[in-house]
Amino acid sequence: MVARRTTWSVLGALALASGCIESLDPKTIVRGPRILDIVADRPEINPGQSTTLRAVLAGTRGTPTFRWFTCVAADSSASATSISNFQGGGTFEGCFGDASATLSLGDGATATLLTSARDEAQLQALARRYGNALPPEVLTAIARDVGIAVGVGVEVSVDGATLRGYKRVLVSFNAARNTNPPPPRVRFGDAWVTAQGEAGDACGPAGGGPVRVRRNETVNLVPDPDESWAEGYRVLTASGQLADRTERGFYSWYATGGNFARGLTQSPTRDNAWTAPAEAGDHTMWVLLRDGRGGTSPCRVSLRVE
């Protein structure tokens, strides 16, 4: 079931939106239901545009139910740095408490955040909340290039557990909006694993089927070093200056068994290693490629330990 579309003036209703709710579980081994990430088909939108969001679930057995909403932090005077630094992962309690205003986005497997064209004036007004000390040209650049973060939360009920996740979506005037990176392409030992066409997040070797690994075998995991997809963008620094940056890949690794050498790798040191369990059986591995500012692409790999 797809969540209903909800139309409203996002920025007028939420004022400054920033991170809220608890952080995602960082453990690399999935023992039960987890939200690994939330993917927006467009991580940055202009006023009047929409984006559709979905949760990347792992370790579930039953059929999940969803509750999506937008939220605003209890302290809407958060600093410019905390709002513009999307690698930071600041968290706030208000999204799931009484201190934050929320608006429903529906109860389907996906949610659509649709902004109003009227948000253009609101976006300019919100940029001014960074402070009167900033020159007008800097405030204009914040609205155009840096953007304002709108928070989207999800509560998932499955297998007797309640899971909570959070995503920041940028709203800006930027004509060159951020996009998600391509699906991860990773070499498992000697075989490359890539996305399998239209099969959702599924990844696998060229010949199809699961990746076969011997018991207790340590497999080198080598992401494709080609990061020509990386985009340039602007940030507002702690000193109130605008600075140019270039994306780089951040790789998060999860599996239902075995052990990783590292839980997070990032370019230029992207490589990892996974040691298979001592017992034979089927497992799943997830590789999530993030661009460091809201763009995410997941890859789910079937493993057979023999």
* 238: amino acid identity, one letter: A
How much is the pLDDT for 133?
Answer: 66
Q: Dihedral angle at the C-alpha atoms of 236, 238, 239, 241, nearest 10 degrees?
A: -10
Phi, psi of 263 (to 5 degrees): -90, -25
How much is the pLDDT for 140?
Answer: 81
Please tell me the least confidently modeled range out of 2-11, 120-129, 273-282.
Answer: 2-11
Q: Which residues contact 121 (CB under 8 A, 6 or more apart)?
A: none
Hey, what long-range contacts does 55-58 have (CB within 8 A, 24 or more apart)? 55/154, 55/156, 55/165, 56/201, 56/286, 56/288, 56/296, 56/298, 57/33, 57/156, 57/158, 57/163, 58/30, 58/33, 58/34, 58/254, 58/256, 58/284, 58/286
User: Taken in order 126, 132, 136, 141, is the CA torsion positive or negative?
Assistant: negative
pLDDT digits (tens, 9 = 90+) for 144-183: 888 888 888 899 999 999 998 888 888 888 888 999 999 9
Q: For 69, what's the count of Cα atoms within 13 Å in the CB-facing half-sphere?
A: 19
Phi, psi of 60 (to 5 degrees): -100, 150
pLDDT > 80? residue 50: yes
Q: Which residue has the higher pLDDT, 26 or 303?
A: 303
Assess contact for 274 and 184: CB atoms under 8 A.
no
- How many helices and strands in the chain, by DSSP H and E? 4, 22
pLDDT > 80? residue 10: no
- What is the residue-averaged pLDDT of the chain? 80
Mean pLDDT of all residues in 2-25: 42
How much is the pLDDT for 131?
Answer: 63
Please tell me the least confidently modeled range out of 73-77, 130-134, 170-174, 203-207.
Answer: 73-77
Please tell me the least confidently modeled range out of 89-93, 96-100, 195-199.
Answer: 89-93
Residue 236 pLDDT class (50, 70, 90 cuts): confident
pLDDT > 50? residue 6: no
Q: Dihedral angle at the C-alpha atoms of 23, 24, 29, 30, nearest 10 degrees?
A: 140
How much is the pLDDT for 183?
Answer: 93
Domains present along the chain, CATH in parentheses: 5-171 (2.60.40.10), 186-305 (2.60.40)
| Alpha carbons 125 and 150: distance in angstroms, whole number | 15
Mean pLDDT of all residues in 106-113: 94
Mean pLDDT of all residues in 93-103: 55
Percent above pLDDT 90 for the chain: 49
Residue 123 pLDDT class (50, 70, 90 cuts): confident
pLDDT digits (tens, 9 = 90+) for 184-204: 999 998 899 999 876 679 999
Q: Rounded to 5, what percent of the chain is helix, strand, coil? A: 10, 40, 45
pLDDT > 90? residue 11: no
Q: Is this structure's pTM higher than 0.85?
A: no
